[in-house]
Structures are given as C-alpha cells and as structure tokens.
Amino acid sequence: MMRALKGAVCGLAMMAGLPAFAQDQQSLADIRSELAQLSAQVQGLRQELVSSGSSGLQAAGGASALARMDTMEASLSRLTSQTEELQNKINRVVSDGTNRIGDLEFRVCEMEQGCDISSIGKTAPLGGADSSAAAAPTPAASSNGSGQSSADLAMNEQSDFDRAKGVLDQGDFPRAAKELAAFAQSYTGGPLSDDALYYQGEALQKSGDTAGAARAWLNAFSTYPDGDKAPESLTKLGWALGQLGQRSEACTALGQVGQRYPQAQAVSEARAEMSKLGCM
C-alpha cells in the first residue's frame, strides 16, 4: 500500500515552474491576432505602393521601400511561427501535467479504504479550471474568517463551511472529514473550497488516517495551487509522505514550498520538516 504513494509528488517539480496557462494561452491568442493584423496592414501598404506607380514608389524611397516591407513581412512570419510553436509547447505541458495529476489521484485512491476509483471523474485541465462556475454572490460584503468578502460567496456557503469546520473544532474528526469533503464537492471552485480540503486533511490526520490526509492535501494543492491554503497544504502533504516512509517524495514536496511560495509562513515549517528528514 505504501508503494501507492511512490511518485505521489512526481509532478510537483514540474508544477513549480508552471505559469497560469489559461492566461498565457489568451495572451498568445492576442499576440497572434495582432501579428495577423500587422501582416494585413503591411500587405495593404505594399498594394497601395505598387498601385501608385513609379512616382509613388520613388516618393516612398524607391526599391528600398519594397525591401523594407519584405523584411517586415519576414519578421512577422517568423514571430507568428514562434507563437504557434510556443502555443503547442504550452498545450503539451498542460496535457502532461493534467495526466500526472490524474495519475496521482488514481494512485492515492488505490490506497484508501472505500475509495471508489470510478468516482474520481475526469481531471480538470491543469491551470485551466473554469472559476466562472462559482455560484452567484450575495449582496452583502462583510468580511469572513478567510479574508474573503461574503460578496464572493454563494448563498449559504459561509454558514455551511462554518458548520463543517465547527465539527472539526469539536473533535468529531471522522464526521468533520466527511462534511468538509462534501462541502468542497458542493462548492467546487468557491473561495472556501481550498480551506475545506485543507481542513479535511487535518480531520483525517487526527483520525489516524495519514494516507487519506495525504490525498486531501494533494487535492487541495493540485486543485487550488494559488489558493490561500496552498502553501500549508503542500507542507502538510510533505509531512504526511514522510510519516508514510516516502522520504524522497516528502523532500520533493517540502522543497517546492519555498520555491513556489517564498513569502509564505509555511516555508519555515517546511524547512524544519526537511531538516528532520535529513533532506539534501
């Protein structure tokens, strides 16, 4: 069963350098559109110059004007080719990263008692989750404990989270783990979902289910790598892997905390844990 966690962090090093792919893809699309517009404008200028006859050509600088246009068109063609190549590289990295996360979810599910592999579902594209599906906000704008405005929360989301978290605070860890998991599923993409998965990991850990906790923290980090709890989730994942005897994977996960989140408070905790494990 321990072997199921071997490679549970194989995608973390790759993910450490990943940009926000959805944003980059949009930027590349904008660049390609602008390049196409510039190319069309250069071609239009060429046609105007040629149609103006010898007098217009001489006024523009003679044959050198056409030569300059040839140079510009060649440069635009080269830039267009480079953006297409970069787009293809990003698509390959997104596909590979998504497949790796899906494999991690499958492996960790294998080692959990009662985990139904068929319930895992299709892994969302890495960096391309649609956050627009979050439920409609409420008119109120008071602050909640997670620093989020209640205007960002769906109806009843804050109260449902508080209730599930309250069960954890009361010490009913098995029940808390179930309620927090249900919350994260019900409000997928919501501003409190990463908190729910993080606390689900805590509930499972305090229940004695370290493997289940590792899965919850892996889900929290991989699903919400930019969430408020991402540094803590990655640190806890490294700790859990160390507890399960996966020292190499634990060191990899812990080492990524400082690289991905250099300003996070969890960095000191991750370094302390690396020291305990004797990570190089």
Token pair of 255, please?
């080492």
178: pLDDT strictly greater than 90: yes
CA atoms within 13 A of residue 174's CA, in its CB half-sphere = 1
Higher pLDDT, 64 or 139: 64
Q: Report the mean per-residue pLDDT for the chain.
A: 73
DSSP annotation of 149 reads B
24-33, 207-216, 240-249, 259-268: least confident range = 24-33
Cα 61 to the center of its chain, rounded Å? 52
Read off the tokens for 158.
């804050």
Residue 205: helix, strand or coil by DSSP?
helix
d(CA 131, CA 117): 25
Is the pLDDT at 120 greater than 60, yes or no? no
> Tokens in use for 159?
């109260």
Q: What is the pLDDT of residue 4?
A: 44
**What number of other Cβ atoms are within 10 A of residue 176's Cβ?**
24
- pLDDT per position as a tens digit, 46-104: 677 667 666 665 666 666 766 777 777 777 777 777 777 777 777 777 666 666 666 66
Specify the higher pLDDT residue, 202 or 35: 202
Higher pLDDT, 253 or 137: 253
Q: Provide the Cα torsion 80, 84, 87, 91; round to 10°.
A: 170
Q: 208 or 50: whose pLDDT is higher?
A: 208
Q: In terms of CATH architecture, what is 138-277?
A: Alpha Horseshoe (1.25)
pLDDT value of residue 78: 77
Select from 176, 183, 182, 246 the least CA-distant residue to 214: 246
C-alpha radius of gyration, the chain, whole number: 26
Banded model confidence at residue 200, pLDDT cuts 50, 70, 90: very high
What mean pLDDT comes out for the span 115-131? Answer: 55
Whether the pLDDT of residue 203 is over 90: the answer is yes
Report the DSSP beta bridge partners of residue 143.
Answer: 149
Instruction: State residue 249's pLDDT score.
Output: 84
Q: Of 73, 67, 74, give the one whose Cα is nearest residue 39.
A: 73
Prediction pTM value: 0.54
Highest mean pLDDT among 95-104, 128-137, 202-211, 214-223: 202-211
* Stretch 11-25: mean pLDDT: 45
What are the Cα distances from residue 235, in Å, to 180, 196, 213? 20, 16, 12
Look up residue 134 and give its DSSP letter: S
Q: What is the pLDDT of residues 229-277, one digit of tens each?
A: 999 999 999 999 888 888 888 898 898 898 889 999 999 999 999 999 9
Question: What pLDDT shows up at residue 149?
Answer: 40
pLDDT at 144: 44
Name the percent of the chain lying above pLDDT 70: 60
Tell me whether residue 103 is exposed, middle or buried, using C-beta atoms within 10 angstroms of its C-beta: 0 to 12, 13 to 18, 19 or more: middle
